[in-house]
Each structure stands twice: as structure tokens, then as C-alpha cells.
Chain A
Amino acid sequence: MRTKALKNLAMISAAGVTAGLVAIFFVVPTEQFQGIVQKIFYIHVPAAWVAYLAFAVVLVSSISYLRSGAERWDHLALASAETGVLFTGLTLLTGMLWGKPVWGTYWVWDPRLTLTLVLFLIYLGYLWFRAMSTGPDRGARVAAVIGITGFVAIPLVHFSVDWWRGQHPGRTVFRPEASPALPASMLLAMLWMVMVFTVLYALMLVLRVRIARLEQELASVEP
């Protein structure tokens, strides 16, 4: 992707974030029971969705790498894993900052929270393994296996609120046999942020893939 296209993507992301923040703080009503702290939801949930997307991309590109051996898939998997770890970390952080005023504590060993932490650690391990690996393929094949098996944690995280009793709120948007548990304005603001964060994710992905390619190029010209 050309630099101009990247700059356009960055500008679209910035405009989208600004519009989203205006809607969240000046248009969408404040939730009746939780008050203003509920507004953390508009960054917490979209960040979690983007993390799911990022790890799904790791899964697909790792499978493609193992099948074809083409390095572009490995670069994509590595880039997406790094972005996914960032968004999972931000999901955990914003969740903790919501938990303190609402639950009275930053952390509880609830199934959703615990499994999200496990997911974060799996892909952090993936990145650590990549950073430590030497050799011609820099651990790409083993990392691909980690990237594929790590994805098992995603359905566990997502459905944990249905399968086990915990403190984390249940699903609010895609609920089985029910309409979303949110007023239209809140739902729209949340979906807008999902869209904007997806554009941001794409921007990060393109930049990170470029770095992976440059690292490879540098290794080839290194004396």
C-alpha cells in the first residue's frame, strides 16, 4: 500500500474517532444505573471485537503459511498477533477501570476475565517466541502452530458468559433469541466505534507488515 493511501487511512481513522467521541459524550444519553462510567463500554467492547478479528487473521494466515510456505502469510500473522495483543491488553485495562467504580474492585477471577487474560498471555507468548527465535525461518512454523491452537481460546472467551456463571455482564448485542439489550443510539455509537477500530486495525496491520518486510530485507543485505 502506498504512503498516500496510508495517510488517507490514518485521516479516516482520526475523523472516525473524533466523530465517535462527539457522539459518545454529547449525543448518546448517559446510562441510568452505572452513570458516566458506562461510557467505557464504547471503547471496551469494540476493542474486544477487533482483538477477535486480529486473532482470526492470525489463524487464517498461519494456516496459509503452513500450506504454502509463503513469507507474506507469516508477516501477516505476526503483524496481526501484535495488534491483537495490543487490543486485548486495552480491553483488559479498560475493563478493570470500569470494574473498580461499578464492582468495587479492579479484578475478579470471573470466567470471562480469566479467559481473556489467558488469551492475552497465549499471544504474548507467541510474540515472545518470535522475538527469541533465530534461524532461517525465525520460528515461523512453530509460531504458526501456536497461532492456530491459540485461537481455541476465542470461542471460550466469547461464550463464557453463556456457559458459566460469573460477574461479567452477559452479551448485549448478539443475544440468542433476543434483540440487543441497548437503546438504538447506544448501539449505533458502539457499532460506529467497531467500524472505526477496524479501520485503525487495518492501518496498524499494513504498517506492521511493512516493518516485517523491511526486517527481512535488512537481513538479506546484512554482511
Chain B
Amino acid sequence: MRDPVVFLVIAYGAFFGGIALYLRSLVSRQRALEKKIQQRSNDVSPPKELRSP
């Protein structure tokens, strides 16, 4: 049987690795959505020169 230390290292690595990946995915999802919303609102609003004074 493998050394128990191997199981300990895998458990802690998978645990904190999983949490770090999830947090990273949350941050990048948030940034991507903010960017998309910004693009959409730029598309919707008319360019400055076409706006009435």
C-alpha cells in the first residue's frame, strides 16, 4: 500500500486546489460578464456625433 503521506498530500492539494480554481473561475466569469454588458450597452447607445445636442 502507498505511503499515507501521499494520500494526505493529494487530499490537501485537491481540496485547496479545487477551492482556488473555483474562486478563479468566479472572478473570470464576473469579468467576462461585466465586459459583455459594457459591449452591449455600447452597441445599444448611439455614437456621440448622432446624439441630439
Partner of B30, one of A39, A86, A207: A207
A103 to B23, CA, bound (A): 33
Question: A85 to chain B: closest CB distance in Å?
Answer: 10
Q: Contact: B41 with A93, CB < 8 Å?
A: no
Q: Contact: B23 with A203, CB < 8 Å?
A: yes
Question: A92 to chain B: closest CB distance in Å?
Answer: 11
A100 to B7, CA, bound (A): 8
Q: Contact: A43 with B11, CB < 8 Å?
A: yes
Q: How large is the interface on A (under 10, 10 to 19, 20 to 34, 35 or more residues)?
A: 20 to 34
Given contacts A200-B19, A218-B40, contact A97 B33 (CB under 8 A): no
Taking CB atoms and an 8 Å cut-off, the chain B residues in 1-53 that contact chain A are: 1-2, 4-5, 7-8, 10-12, 14-16, 18-19, 22-23, 26-27, 29-30, 33-34, 36-37, 40-41, 43-44
Question: A114 to chain B: closest CB distance in Å?
Answer: 21
| A contact residues around B27 at 8 Å (CB) | 207
A131 to B37, CA, bound (A): 20
Q: Does A177 contact B (CB under 8 A)?
A: no
Q: Contact: A93 with B15, CB < 8 Å?
A: yes
Q: Does A40 contact B (CB under 8 A)?
A: yes
Q: Does A152 contact B (CB under 8 A)?
A: no
Partner of A43, one of B15, B41, B44: B15
Given contacts A36-B5, A44-B11, A90-B18, 13 further A-B contacts (CB under 8 A): A35-B4, A40-B7, A86-B19, A86-B22, A93-B15, A94-B15, A97-B7, A101-B2, A204-B23, A217-B37, A218-B36, A221-B37, A223-B43
A interface with B by C-beta (< 8 Å): 10, 17, 35-37, 39-40, 43-44, 47, 86, 89-90, 93-94, 97-98, 100-101, 104, 200, 203-204, 207-208, 210-211, 214-215, 217-218, 221-223
